Amino acid sequence: MSIEISVIAPFYNEEENVMEFCQRTLAIMNSMQLRFELLLVDDGSKDNTLLVIEKLAATHENIRFISFTRNFGHQLALFAGISAAQGQHLILMDGDLQDPPELIPKLYHQLQKGYDVVYAKRNSRSGESALKKTTANLFYRILNRITRFSIPVDTGDFRIFNRQVADELMKMQDHSKFLRGQMAWLGFRESAMSFDREKRKNGTTGFSYSRMFRFAFDGITGFSDFPLKFASYSGIVVSLLSFVLIIYVLVAKYLLGQTITGWASLMVTILFLGGIQLLSIGIIGEYISRINDKVRNRQLYVVKKTNTTPTSLQ
């Protein structure tokens, strides 16, 4: 009999949360009375997360784990889980108990109604700063503007999807993974389910603002060329403006006999142009660094220890 559900959760320095996560998830999965596996991915934790995971795996036959040599990031941890999962349905959720395991049966039943993906949409997000919420909101609105498909607002990676979606996801050769965008890009039938996101149980977030910024750029560069076009459009606009200005200066000098003086206007022009140029170079740089990643074509992550069959990885 094949496995019906694989629950995949990444852990980065979550020694205080792993145990409760497994207890609550195992309880709810057992109550569903179907074959399941719990795939715990240790993303190079520096604390005792792996130790706790190994202990749990030794006593529960449904628990499988993958442990990275170092911290490769949340998206790759999820991707490693997807690659190793054997279930007909896959669930992605955070390991810090912000995504309640008790929602799993509801997600599963909703999927049975004929959807390929059911994602959990955040009604409220407790314990997160106003700045994080506003920047996240703004980011998704911008992303939806500049891509041709829509990525659901107020959702993370907490979702269930079927085997077909998982197989297609694994065919996507993107080096910078942005799973929620990739899934939207695939275009399968999606449905949303609302929930109240809880506070992180213990520990602190593994996402600094610089990591979030990088993640946001992965999303944008992975799915849109708009920033590159912005660079060329702003080049055209500035060139046109400067052309008009040149004519104005020439007319003023030779026909009207006035010379335009002014340190202020010079500074403004130089700074404005410098700003646009640096911004454009930065934008190009973001794309080039991802091309560079792709050209190097390294393995996405390195597994140090696992009790899944190594052949099922990557």
Residues within the interface to Mg ion (CB under 5 A) = 96, 98, 200
Residue type, 19: M
Binder of residue 182, out of ligand UDP, Mg ion, none (CB less than 5 to 8 A by kind): none
Structure tokens at 52: 């706790």
| Minimal CB distance residue for ligand UDP | 206
Other residues' Cβ atoms within 10 Å of the Cβ of residue 58: 10
Burial class (CB in 10 A: 0-12, 13-18, 19+), 183: buried
Distance of closest approach, residue 125 Cβ to Mg ion, in angstroms: 10
Of 216 and 283, the one with the shorter C-beta distance to ligand UDP is 216
Terminal Cα-to-Cα distance of the chain (whole angstroms): 24
Q: How far is the CB of 224 from ligand UDP (least distance, A)?
A: 23
Contact between 179 and 300 under an 8 Å Cβ cutoff? The reply is no
Which residues, numbered 25-44, are part of the site for ligand UDP (CB under 6 A)?
43
Q: Binding ligand UDP by CB under 6 A: which of 38, 50, 52, 77? A: 77
Please state the φ and ψ torsions of residue 177, each to the nearest 5 degrees.
-80, 135
- Quick check: 178 and 219 in contact, CB under 8 A? yes
Return the beta strands (E) in 242-302 as ranges.
none
CA distance linking residue 41 with residue 79, whole number of Å: 10
Strand ranges, E, within 102-233: 117-125, 155-162, 190-197
CB of 126 to ligand UDP, least distance (A): 11
96: contact with ligand UDP by CB under 6 A: yes
User: Considering the rule CB under 6 A, would residue 94 count as an interface residue with ligand UDP?
Assistant: yes
Total residues binding ligand UDP (CB under 6 A): 17
Kindly indicate which of the ranges 93-101, 173-181, 234-242, 250-258 contains the residues binding ligand UDP, using the contact rule CB under 6 A. Answer: 93-101
Least distance in angstroms from the C-beta of 94 to Mg ion: 5
Nearer to Mg ion, 9 or 53 (CB): 9
- Where along the sequence are the contacts to ligand UDP (CB under 6 A)? 10-12, 14, 43, 71, 73-74, 77, 94-96, 98, 200, 205-207
